[in-house]
Structure 1
Amino acid sequence: MREKRERKQEIIENLEVIDASSEGTSVAKHNELVIFIPFVVPGDIVDVQIVKKKKSFAEAKAINFHKLSDKRVEAKCPHFGLCGGCKWQTMKYEDQLFYKNKQVIDALTRIGHIDCSKAKKIIGSENEFYYRNKLEYTFSTKRWLTDKDIQTLEKDSAPRGFGFHVAGFFDKVLDIEYCALQREPSNLIRNFIRDYSDKHNLSYYDIRNHFGLLRNIVVRSTFEDELMLIVVFAEESDEIFPMLDAIANQFPEITSLMYAINTKFNDTLFDQDIICYKGKDHIIEYMPSFRDDRERLKFKIGPKSFYQTNSKQAFVLYSNAVEFADINENQIVYDLYTGTGTIANFVAPYAKKVVGIEYIDEAIEDAKVNSKANNLDNTVFYAGDMAKVLNQDFVRRNGKPDLIITDPPRAGMVKSVIDQLLEIEAKKIIYISCNPATQARDVELLSEKYIVGRIQPVDMFPHTQHVENIVELILK
């Protein structure tokens, strides 16, 4: 029997990190080989160990630091380097903004072949930490073992994890004690639930074998101090209501305590019944109006509602989009991928009519409620697949739009929707995107009939590589 030879681990010394990538890693070059390295900062000089190598690029991990970059700061989170959620947390915020801005311009130039010489400078977030209004935590029978765990845990023990998934491992969860992305009592709630489950021997969900009681929690909050907690169980149990009562007693500030029993093989909740156990079945968030002469807007957020996770920065994003739109009271506006109608209701006071389209039924119902709550009678909403709903018959029934605002998912718009936009020929399209690459692809397709006007990147997610961007498209 032939013995397997151990592959020699390739180590490259004194490698200078020169850039940051759109995937959250940083970039170095060695003899024309591009090397992606996580958890380092441009300007660092490091020794790296190659973990994957292809013809044109490699992936590596830093094993020794010779020089620390002047772009570095200390990480606020004790889980940095393991969690993976805030890959740029050791980079100064002004440098994060520089690389996010660069990411947008690079994508639009390289993929969309767009002249970005007049693009505006990225707008940073007012809050670098505690900016998220929603976080989800997962229970798992398979905890990701840190170096400390390996040193302190008993041999052959099988510790559980309650926190965030580890990148690249669908069944591994990093146990989280503290997260700096959401205000308290988010950490207090999560840690209380962990302690309660340990004390009462409640089982965690085993994703491989599909058994166990506790599956997920979702914490949603508003700046009006309303708080929603959704506890997701994987099976029926007499332990559910005592646990919910304990949570309610410990945290009376929870205004919406909900639960679901998800017996499926995936974690999505859109097709699940989410039951209100105590309090309201929603929370309310407020947003200033675009102009100071109007009252602030009120938005109902249910357990399945999409709402921008950085509430304050959402106002900045939408305000810039409306400024680009140049809306007037004689215009018909289409809001594609409207979600709970946030953008539609934001622009409605300044338009003749706003038509919103969204594929999630519950979100559309929330959009209608939001219009009513804000005394808006010039909005209409439709639920369905965008590619099927948006056609010429739909336009005939609702009126040809003067302006289209589109804010699609990360995958961008499908070709049939782009073809329909080209056929409609609205005078202006405002394209908001959380993925500059797919936005650039779509803008190039739309360039058949549209020219690019203003461009405005907006940072919604400090310490991550993610960035939003607004592009103004004007009919030729």
Structure 2
Amino acid sequence: MRRRIHKTPERLASVRIDAVAAEGKCIVRTDEGVIFVDNPTGGPGVAPGDLVDLRITNRKKQYREAVAEHIHEWSPVRAEPFCEHFGTCGGCKWQHIQYSEQLGFKHQQVVDHLTRIGKVTLPEIRPILPAHPTQYYRNKLEFTCAEGRWLTTREVNTDQLIDQRAVGFHVPGRFDKVLPIHHCYLQPDPSNAIRQAVNDYVFAHGLTLYNLKAHTGFLRTLIIRTAATTQQVMVTLQVAQDNPEILNELLTYLQTTFPQITSLNYILNTKKNDSYQDQEVINWAGKPYIEEQMDEADGPPLTFRIGPKSFYQTNAQQAHNLYKITREWAGLTGRERVYDLYTGTGTIALFVARRAKQVVGVEYVEASVADARINAQVNGITNTTFVAGDMRDILTDGFFDQHGRPEVVITDPPRAGMDEAVTRQLLKASPERIVYVSCNTATQARDLGILDEGYRVANVQPVDMFPHTHHVENIALLVKR
């Protein structure tokens, strides 16, 4: 039998963190190439300007990966993290960096992707639009209720028996470990109070939580949605066992304790994963939806109904700014036919409809299309058509003949960007303008490189939708050559 040879880990002493790279990792540039530095769970995080000791964890042909073992000198761009869970929780990983510096890193990420990947000629990129507020900005959070609590070092080393139940967030890289959250700065009241009440109820009444390995237990997830403009609150519990008595007692407790809950729902999910788009949602009390509104200068506010399965931008305040820029760049005069691709529940389509002749929204998820049609009806908008199906199959010459060729296309695809076949069809359709909204500038840059055959990039506006994370939205205006 061969003896396994344990190599001594490669280490680098006193190196300076240079910048932030994609996905929020930091980078160090050396004579041997680039090193990507990750933040291990439980650590303070590294920031550009830190002087650190590194341990190499992986060596690739073109780069190396490392973690910081010791920080000798703190960067001047650092900030004091405001959350006690920073470093262990998977969210808000940039709390230790000043917000103004975060904006600069995100802006540079947009520039780098569009120039290095897209290789297109760009105008001067506008300064990134900051978010306000930078805390309590999310309208939806999903908490995992599970057996498999993340233990601190002190708890691991104790001889005492520790309860493994937890209501909180997954620890990065560990599907089976959940960090109990005491206070979260992502969602406004009453989110923290509802989550804590569920947590207290679980322990007071001995409820079993779902075991992610053994697939046993009762309560799986707690989903809270809050509407910024109407203050309506939706709570949805996902359970793994059909036990009406236990479920009704818990739902009654929530209804009594929180009269501000306007939509109370549950899902019985006996699958081995928590995805619920294919599951039936039971409306136990209140309405089966909440409503969010967007003010309009040229008409009454738009009202959007949001169900338990609906997609709606999680930062509603900043989404309004995003949509206003999108509509402005569409250059609508009331005579245009607009295609809104990846329309979701029709938020952008309905937002631009009052200034267009006709809007055609296309979306893969049929439930979202149903929501879009309802939202059009609620707002009395009659010049929209919503179609469900795969974008690659729908955008054909026959579809253009049926609905008319667009003068303007707005596209807001998922992180994977647009399929090349869709991009080619846009070139063939040849609208005057394309407004491309993206949550992943790397795939947006790739698509712009293809569209460069027929369009020039006339304007670029980065938008910060998610403060204290590396994520950035970007709007690009393309004008036909």
1:153 CA displacement: 6.5
| Match in the other structure for 1:163 | 168
1:146-161 to 2 correspondence within 5 Å? 146-152=152-158, 154=160, 157=162, 159-161=164-166
| Match in the other structure for 1:377 | 382
- In terms of mean alpha carbon deviation, does 55-64 or 323-332 score higher? 55-64
| Match in the other structure for 2:42 | none
Provide Cα deviations, 1:370-423, integer angstroms capped at 9, x if missing partner.
Answer: 112222111111111111222211111111110000000000111221121111
Distance across 2 between alignment mates of 1:35 and 1:425 = 43
Contact 1:22 / 1:466 at 8 angstroms: preserved in 2? Answer: no
1:2 CA displacement: 5.8
- In terms of mean alpha carbon deviation, does 456-465 or 294-303 score higher? 294-303
1:116 CA displacement: 3.0
Distance across 2 between alignment mates of 1:172 and 1:249 = 31
Provide Cα deviations, 1:400-450, integer angstroms capped at 9, x if missing partner.
Answer: 110000000000111221121111111111110000000011111111211
> What is the TM-score of this pair, normalised by structure 2?
0.95
Distance verdict in 2 for CA 1:5–1:145, change over 3 Å: farther
| Match in the other structure for 2:305 | 300
| Match in the other structure for 2:124 | 118
Q: Secondary structure of the equivalent of 1:80?
A: coil
1:157-306 to 2 correspondence within 5 Å? 157=162, 159-223=164-228, 224-237=230-243, 238-289=245-296, 292-306=297-311
Distance across 2 between alignment mates of 1:412 and 1:148 = 44
Q: Secondary structure of the equivalent of 1:217?
A: strand
Contact 1:231 / 1:259 at 8 angstroms: preserved in 2? Answer: yes
| Match in the other structure for 1:61 | 67
Distance across 1 between alignment mates of 2:5 and 2:189 = 52
1:5 CA displacement: 4.3
| Match in the other structure for 1:339 | 344
Provide Cα deviations, 1:238-276, integer angstroms capped at 9, x if missing partner.
Answer: 311111111111111111011001111222211110111
Distance across 1 between alignment mates of 2:159 and 2:463 = 44
Contact 1:285 / 1:299 at 8 angstroms: preserved in 2? Answer: yes
| Match in the other structure for 1:74 | 80
| Match in the other structure for 2:27 | 27
Q: Secondary structure of the equivalent of 2:328?
A: helix
1:195 CA displacement: 1.3
Distance across 2 between alignment mates of 1:474 and 1:132 = 33
Match of 1:131 among 137, 143, 146: 137
1:158 CA displacement: 6.1
1:369-448 to 2 correspondence within 5 Å? 369-448=374-453
- In terms of mean alpha carbon deviation, does 23-32 or 358-367 score higher? 23-32
1:192 CA displacement: 1.1
- In terms of mean alpha carbon deviation, does 344-353 or 133-142 score higher? 133-142
| Match in the other structure for 2:362 | 357
Distance across 2 between alignment mates of 1:73 and 1:454 = 33
Distance across 1 between alignment mates of 2:447 and 2:31 = 35
Q: Secondary structure of the equivalent of 2:292?
A: strand
Contact 1:25 / 1:87 at 8 angstroms: preserved in 2? Answer: no
| Match in the other structure for 1:36 | 36
Provide Cα deviations, 1:49-100, integer angstroms capped at 9, x if missing partner.
Answer: 2233323323322222211111111111111111121111110111101010
Contact 2:55 / 2:67 at 8 angstroms: preserved in 1? Answer: yes
Stretches of structure 1 that go unaligned for 5 or more consecutive residues are none
Provide Cα deviations, 1:19-64, integer angstroms capped at 9, x if missing partner.
Answer: 0122112112343332222221111111222233323323322222
Q: Secondary structure of the equivalent of 1:350?
A: coil
Distance verdict in 2 for CA 1:475–1:210, change over 3 Å: same
Distance across 2 between alignment mates of 1:214 and 1:108 = 44
- In terms of mean alpha carbon deviation, does 264-273 or 437-446 score higher? 264-273
Distance verdict in 2 for CA 1:327–1:152, change over 3 Å: farther
Contact 1:44 / 1:67 at 8 angstroms: preserved in 2? Answer: yes
Contact 2:90 / 2:169 at 8 angstroms: preserved in 1? Answer: no
Structure 2 residue 113 is matched with structure 1 residue 107: yes
Stretches of structure 2 that go unaligned for 5 or more consecutive residues are 40-44
| Match in the other structure for 2:89 | 83
Distance across 1 between alignment mates of 2:407 and 2:440 = 25
Amino acid at match of 1:203: T
Distance across 1 between alignment mates of 2:373 and 2:147 = 41
Distance across 2 between alignment mates of 1:148 and 1:186 = 29
1:148 CA displacement: 4.0
Distance across 1 between alignment mates of 2:421 and 2:60 = 35
Amino acid at match of 1:250: T
The runs of at least 4 aligned residues of structure 1 exceeding 6 Å deviation read: none
- In terms of mean alpha carbon deviation, does 235-244 or 312-321 score higher? 235-244
Q: Secondary structure of the equivalent of 1:43?
A: coil
Contact 1:105 / 1:116 at 8 angstroms: preserved in 2? Answer: no
| Match in the other structure for 1:51 | 57
> What is the TM-score of this pair, normalised by structure 1?
0.96
Distance across 1 between alignment mates of 2:6 and 2:167 = 35
Amino acid at match of 1:294: G
Q: Secondary structure of the equivalent of 1:304?
A: coil
Distance verdict in 2 for CA 1:160–1:36, change over 3 Å: farther
Distance across 1 between alignment mates of 2:199 and 2:357 = 51
Amino acid at match of 1:132: R
Contact 1:214 / 1:232 at 8 angstroms: preserved in 2? Answer: yes
Distance verdict in 2 for CA 1:153–1:10, change over 3 Å: farther
Distance across 2 between alignment mates of 1:440 and 1:226 = 38
Structure 2 residue 459 is matched with structure 1 residue 454: yes
Amino acid at match of 1:182: Q
Q: Secondary structure of the equivalent of 1:65?
A: strand
RMSD of Structure 2 on Structure 1 (CA): 1.6
Amino acid at match of 1:172: K
Distance across 2 between alignment mates of 1:173 and 1:79 = 12
